[in-house]
Amino acid sequence: MEFVLTFHQPAEVYETNADPVRGAAPMQAWRQYMDAMQAAGVLRGGNRLDAFGATSVRVRDGRRQVQDGPYAETKDLLGGYVVVEVPSLDEALKWAERSPSSAVGSTEVWPVMTMAPR
């Protein structure tokens, strides 16, 4: 089964991680986490996202509304995702628990639903 894990952390965590000195240890934890998934053979892909660079688009009454930045009412920012292939939801939850974001924010686990070919 495939799952997408999304990593959400407070803005100040992303700011710390971006600092060359203060971010060294947290980024090492991320490298170890990604290496562990790779070594276990469960990692299928993923990318880091620009947590501050999102733009939200909504259509209301036929008119497009554009808002710079991530969704305004969230406290944590989405900073990345991975796709893992594991035997069960329980296994995906174990990988989510190990994520550095789970200690300071959250990690969401999304089951991937494949679409039938047309």
CA dihedral 68, 69, 72, 77 (to 10 degrees): 170
Which of 13-22, 69-78, 89-98 is the least confident region?
69-78
Strand ranges inside 11-104, DSSP E = 43-48, 55-60, 63-68, 76-85
Q: Structural domain tally of the chain? A: 1
What is the share, in percent, of the chain residues with pLDDT greater than 70?
A: 95
Q: Higher pLDDT residue, 108 or 71?
A: 108
Contact 106, 76 (CB under 8 A): yes
Q: Are 34 and 48 in contact (CB under 8 A)?
A: no
Provide the domain limits for residue 45: 2-111
Is 7 within a domain?
A: yes
pLDDT tens digits for range 20-56: 999 999 999 999 999 999 999 999 999 999 888 888 8
CATH number of the structural domain spanning residue 29 = 3.30.70.1060
* Four-CA torsion 75, 59, 108, 92, nearest 10 degrees: -170
